[in-house]
Each structure stands twice: as structure tokens, then as C-alpha cells.
Amino acid sequence: MEGEGTATGRQRRATASQLDQWTVQDQVFKIYGAFASIPRSAQSVILELQRDKHVEYLTRGLQQLGPSFVVLDAKCVLLPSSFDLGFATGSCTQLLYLGNQLTMNWRIMPSTFLAVVRIQMVAMGVDQGRQVAETFALYWIGRRMVAVLWMHDAGEIDVRACYTAISVASILNILDDELAKGVGNYILSCQTYEGGIAGEPGSEAHGGYTFCGLAAMVLINQANSLDLASLIDWVAFRQGVECGFQGRTNKLVDGCYSFWQGGVFALLQRLPAFGGEGFGTSDVEVEWVSDSTSEGDDEDRDSSDDNEALHPEPDQEGHQSSSHSPESSTAVHIHHSRHNQLEPLFHTMALQQYIVLCSQEQEGGFRDKPGKARDYYHTCYCLSGLSVCQYSRSKNENSPPLPTSVLGPYSNLLEPIHPLYNVVSRQYHDAREFFSKY
Amino acid sequence: MNWEEDEEKLLPSQRPEWSDVSPLPQDDGPNPVVPIAYKPEFAETMDYFRAVYRADERSPRALQLTHQAILLNPGNYTVWHFRRLILETLSKDLQQELDYVSKIAEKNSKNYQIWHHRRWLAEKLGPDAAGRELKFTEKILSGDAKNYHAWSHRQWVLQSLGGWDDELEYCHQLLEEDIFNNSAWNQRYFIITKSPLLGGLQAMRESEVKYTVAAILANPENESPWRYLRGLYKDDPKSWIHDPQVSTLCLKVLTSSGTNHVFALSTVLDLLSHGLQPSRELREAVDTLNPNSSSTKDSLGNTICSVLEHADAMRVNYWRWRKSQLIV
């Protein structure tokens, strides 16, 4: 919703969408404006990832959650997925007991189950041996759960369910044609006229479902059936003047979409159609898109641009309307390699700027947007999104990103995540290897 | 079930009718992960719920208990599921149950379980439930015009139970209130493609293009109608590139000053990639916007990408990629 519109447009009173958007924009631009006006030394401090504070916030939650968390009671297992990023704790999963509970609540939400698998993958990084018995519980439950899903309980199928079932099945090495049958067509039918993917056929294109849909299609090798051109176009336009991503057209920016939308680009980059090396089979080390000129490109830009704030120029009228006049360029210098098709298709530095300056809370945790409270869900997905940005130009998981890919000090660098599963890559590979034996 | 009776806050252990039941505590094992500090009231209610659930007791008291559990945590899908089993077994009045879930929904309009429960009920009640469900979603949308669950439910109702008659008009009203409401545009697309009362996309295209062009001209910075316009020609790019209304619209927008040109430029780029033969006026309009006059030898597509790299700087990487994808 940039710009002023035509003369006739301006005479109409502002709509609810416009008012909401301008309110958020004003808040965000205030933050960027304040940032731009402080000395560079102070800027460096503000751009720091408050690692210790985030760990503290998350650890407290791992130990105990207050009574208000009962609303997540049925999905209590979902929360640990927020914690496995960036650090793995010594907490272990009690899958036998969980399995017992799951047997009782046999119609578990797939998302819950996926989180179980994630805990498993985290815990495995700590102690593989102990997990054997629990693995069999998981396997049995997984097989049963997936079968239940495809027995189709009215109204419970949606793109999220497809993704969680397929991704769990793939980690557990029980993904086969029977399970994948029908999923591809269903997800295809959920791609909308806008290009993004909806939760159900006919619904609105939405970032969360777009990620789930694309990831599921990648997992069953049917990504090319989608209209990828229109999907990319839609998701590219979800990054707004605020620098972060919105979930749907004409809706508000939200830190969690840093992963849902940003992750789509990470997936796309790996597709052969876009010059990627693909995702390989389970036994092949996944290759990142090669950007062989990245080392040589430092000379293309001044290192002082690393922390250049992306600050849209204020317009002359200076109020509610977008501060970013349509034809002006933002005060930023973009690092680009000579091989354009290997570059990330979104503005990775801008997104990092939104995450670090607008979503990060100095006391620990991340939030949707300024004015909203922090929570574990946003902490998870802001960190995931940040990792995606940092590794968006990396040759492979083993070679660390260049400093020019990281906003703020290089110590902000996170572990790489596997974009298909949103778990720390290392743990994904361990788990995959483990389950491939069974 | 009388709502007023439910105001009683007596816990099961305090009620004589539960004296025969042994509550079943939650067992998370010796080292639970992210344990929640349940309040005693919550823990006790759920302990009794687990007992009746395990025993598969589908009685009036069990139904009442599911209500207590729902009040404490409307997100517990197991409780809702079991409630449905009880409703069936006891052959309860489902219209009354709709009253019940409507009350619960008042404070929980984004709760998947509640919407799923409604869907289940409506399906059982059949086409007679259509009117009520459309009214209910309308009420939710009047407070939150983009509520994803409400729109999904509304679409499901229309397709499963009917009620299409006033839907296009309803959509129009919402767009009059807020032309930027993308959910309403999406619904409009749903209607013109799916409604049995209309002729389908092709038949509706002419009038829809007019509607959309007017919306775009009023607010060229509004992304929704631009995407909608493109959608009107889904799977039929030939009609799209040959429809004079489309290129005329782009030209109009590109030649007005103080206007957001990004979507117009992007549309022309897409048209070109599908074979549009650009007019001289279109070429000139784009050249006028190009700050770098030395590249007039470039293809129009190239020029557009160059303009967008500056005019839409957030997507500079995307436009560079698009440029690399151009044929010639």
C-alpha cells in the first residue's frame, strides 16, 4: 500500500486496512529513524543479538510455564520446538510416557506430533543410546497417525496437516507412495490466483500455508507442479516497507513470517529449477546453492555498509501516508554477486533489520511487532528467519557465511537450519541417519 | 443444556454425582518437558475428564464435564472430540449445541477447534443450517473482516450447504467499506468461479474486469485488485495479453504522476513475458520513468526491470532475477 494513489483516491476516507498499516508503519519508521540518528558505536550495540537474554527466557520456559499456558495444554509438546533452535539443552524427552499419552489421545494434532519428533531430534544430539526404545514408540505412533490422517476426518485436512504428516514420515523414513498419494493434487488445488498457497482450496493465500505447501511438495518431489513463477512473485511482494514480511496481501507485518515467507525462498533456492542442487536423497549430504564469486565480491561494496540502516525517506507531507515515496530508493547498498539467479530473491538485510530492531526484545525473546508482547512462538520463528537470512548466500552448511551476510556483529551468527524441517541442520542429519536404519 | 446452570463452579470432587469415579491424573513421566503449572481447578477437572474418556462414558454428566473442560481450555481437541461422541450417543439437539458453541466463540474467534465443531454440527444439520452459519460468520467478520477461520467456514458452508444468493453483494459491500480487504477480493474470486448461480469465470470476466479496473484506478497502490485482475485470466494468458482494457489500464497508471507505478510496471513485465506486443505509447511511458536514459536500446522488459530495481528497491534482488530470466 505504498504511495498516495490518484487524486480521486485521496479524497476517499482511509479504510481500516490503511489505518492499521499506517499505524504500524509509523511505529516501525520511528524505530528506524531513531536508529539512524545515533552514533555508529551505539548502533553496533543495538544490532547485537541478545543471545544470553534469549537463552535465559527460553530456559525459564523449559523448566516451567505459568498457569496461563493451559491454552496450549493439548499442544504442550509444540512448545519445545521453539527451544531447539540455537541451542540444545540437556532436557530429554520421555517418549515412552508421551507415547502413552498419545495413545490415549490418538487423534493428536499432527503439529503436536511433529514437535515430538523435533524434541527427539534435539535430544538425540545429546544421547542417542537412550532413544532406541522410544524410537519404536515413535515409529508405531507415526505410522498410525499418518494412516489416521489419510482416513480423512471431515474438515481436519488442511495444508498444515499435509506438511506435518509428510515431514514426520520423511524423517522417520516411512514416506512412501501410499502416503504421498493425493497430497500433491490437494496442495495444488490450494494454490490461489494470487500465487500463494491457502489452507484449504478456495481460501486466501497465506504465508504459513505457503511454506507448508511448498515444503510438502518438495518432500514428495512435486514442487514443479506448482506455478512457481506466480508463487515467487506473490511471496516476493509480501516483504513491505517495514522490511519484514506480512502473511497475506494488505495485512500487517509480523516477525513470525520471517520464517514462513523467508523460508519459502530458502526452499526455492535449492530447487534445480532455480539453479539449486536439489535436496538429494536421504543419504546424500544436502548441497547448498553454490555462489562461487561470493569471496570476490567484497570489493563491490564498502564494509561500512554492513550496518547501514534501511531507512525509507520521509515524504514531504510527513504523516500517515507511506514514508516511502514510490519512486525513491532506500538508503541502502545491496551486496550482489555476478550470478543473479543464485542470489536470494528477497532483501535479506532488510529482514534482519526488522527482526533485530523491531522484533527483538532487549530483555530476551522476540515479538510479532513493536507494541506486542514477546512469546515463544515468535521467538522460534524470528530466530529461524534470522538464520535463513544469514545463510541465504552460503555455499554449503560447512562453510560459514561471509560477514556481509550478517547484520550486526558477526557474533550474531546462528546455527544453520534445515529449511524443510526448521530444525538445526546438524540434528536433522543425525536423526535422518538414525531412522534410516529402521 | 441450560446455560445458566453451568455458572456453577463446583468441581467434580465436590459433587456427589461424581463420587463413584476415580480421577485419572496426567502422567508426563519423571522428567516432563515444559511442564505447565496447572491450577488445582484445572488439574482436577482434567483428571475427571481423563477418567470418563478412558471409560468411554457418554453420559449427561460427562457432557457437562466436557463443558467445564472447554471453559478452562477451549483448545483441547480431545475434549471437543469426545463431546461430539457424547452428543451423538445422547442424540442431543444440535441447534442448541450451535447456541452453545456460538457463546464459546465470542471470546475465541481464532480457535480451530471451535470452528471445526461448528462445521461438524452444520454438516449434521444440513442445508437448513446454511442461513444461520452465514449470519454467524458475517457477525464475526463485522468485527474482524479478515478472520481466516470465518472465511474458510463461510466458503465451506456455501459449497456444502448452499446460500449463494446474496454472496456477491455481500462481498461488494465489504469492498465498499475497505477496498484493500484482500480476503474480500479472495472471496469474490471464489464466488465468480464457484457459484452455481453465476456463469463461471469466463462468463463473468467482462464485468469483473470493469469492476477491478475501477478499483485500481481509485487506488493504484492497492495490490489486491491487481492480483485479482491477473487471476481473471488464469490459465488463459492469450486473452489477457490481448485484452485492450489491461494495457490501457497500465498505460493510464504509468502516465499519471504522483502515482505508485510498481504494479503497473510489474503487470506489463508479466504481459511481455507472455507475448504482449507493446504499443509505442507504452514504451514511451516506461522510458519516461527510466532515470537512466542511456539504456533506450534495451528491450522493454529490461528497461522495466531497471526501473523497478530503483522504484521498488525492497525487491531489487527479485527484479534482477526477473531481468536474468528475460528471453533476449
* Closest by CA position to B52, among listed B11, B10, B82: B82
B30: which chain A residues are within 8 Å (Cβ-Cβ)?
94
A92: which chain B residues are within 8 Å (Cβ-Cβ)?
31, 33
Nearest residue in chain B measured CA to CA from A106 = B78
Residues A29-72 pLDDT 10s: 999 999 999 999 999 999 999 999 999 998 887 776 665 554 44
Residue-level pLDDT at A120: 57
CA distance A412 to chain B (A): 23
Cell 528467519, residue located = A385
B35: which chain A residues are within 8 Å (Cβ-Cβ)?
63-65
Of residues A261 and A125, the one with the higher pLDDT is A261
Q: Which amino acid is at A403?
A: P
Window from A26-40, A115-129, B7-21, B58-72 with minimum mean pLDDT: A115-129
User: CB neighbours of B4 closer than 8 A, spacing ≥ 6?
Assistant: none
- Beta pairing class for A423-424 and A417-418: antiparallel
pLDDT band at A145 (very low <50, low <70, confident <90, very high): low
CA distance A397 to chain B (A): 22
- SS3 of residue A191 by DSSP: strand
CA distance B316 to chain A (A): 8
Do A28 and A370 touch, CB atoms closer than 8 A? Answer: yes
Query: Which of B31, B36, B236 is the best residue to mutate to test the A interface, defined by the most A CB atoms within 10 Å of its own CB?
Result: B36
d(CA B157, CA B287): 50
Q: Which of residues 263-282 of B touch A (CB under 8 A)?
A: 266, 270
d(CA B113, CA B198): 33
Considering B39, B103, B110, B238, which one is annotated as catalytic?
B110
Using the Cβ of A438 and the Cβ atoms of chain B, whether some distance falls under 8 Å is answered with: no
Residue-level pLDDT at B33: 62
pLDDT band at A313 (very low <50, low <70, confident <90, very high): very low
User: CB neighbours of A256 closer than 8 A, spacing ≥ 6?
Assistant: A368, A377, A378, A381, A382, A385
Q: How many other C-beta atoms can be found within 10 angstroms of the C-beta atom of residue B328? A: 5
- How much of chain B, in percent, has pLDDT values that exceed 70? 94
B110 included as an active-site residue: yes
Using the Cβ of A104 and the Cβ atoms of chain B, whether some distance falls under 8 Å is answered with: yes
- SS3 of residue B36 by DSSP: strand
**DSSP 8-class letter at A172:** T
The DSSP element (H or E) to which B8 belongs, if any, is none
Q: How many residues does chain B have?
A: 328
Using the Cβ of B225 and the Cβ atoms of chain A, whether some distance falls under 8 Å is answered with: no
Do A244 and A354 touch, CB atoms closer than 8 A? Answer: yes
In the numeric block, which cell numbers belong to residue A245? 514480511
- SS3 of residue A65 by DSSP: strand
Residue-level pLDDT at A32: 98
Residues B134-158 pLDDT 10s: 999 999 999 999 999 999 999 999 9
Alpha-carbon torsion, ordered B7, B8, B13, B16, to 10 deg:
-130
Distance in angstroms between the alpha carbons of the first and the last residue of chain A: 52
- Return the axis-axis angle of helices A376-390 and A262-270, rounded to nearest 10°: 40
d(CA A247, CA A243): 13
CB contact under 8 A, B220 and A232: no
Residues B181-233 pLDDT 10s: 999 999 999 999 999 999 999 999 999 999 999 999 999 999 999 999 999 99
Using the Cβ of B35 and the Cβ atoms of chain A, whether some distance falls under 8 Å is answered with: yes
In the numeric block, which cell numbers belong to residue B62? 460427562
CB contact under 8 A, A65 and B37: yes
Out of A67, A97, A200, name the one closest to residue B27 (CB). A97
Residue-level pLDDT at B278: 95
In the numeric block, which cell numbers belong to residue A349? 538485510
CA distance A283 to chain B (A): 31
Do B168 and A4 touch, CB atoms closer than 8 A? Answer: no
Of residues A184 and A112, the one with the higher pLDDT is A184
Using the Cβ of A372 and the Cβ atoms of chain B, whether some distance falls under 8 Å is answered with: no
Q: Which of residues 398-437 of A touch B (CB under 8 A)?
A: none
Residues A218-240 pLDDT 10s: 999 999 999 999 999 999 999 99
In the numeric block, which cell numbers belong to residue A164? 506435518
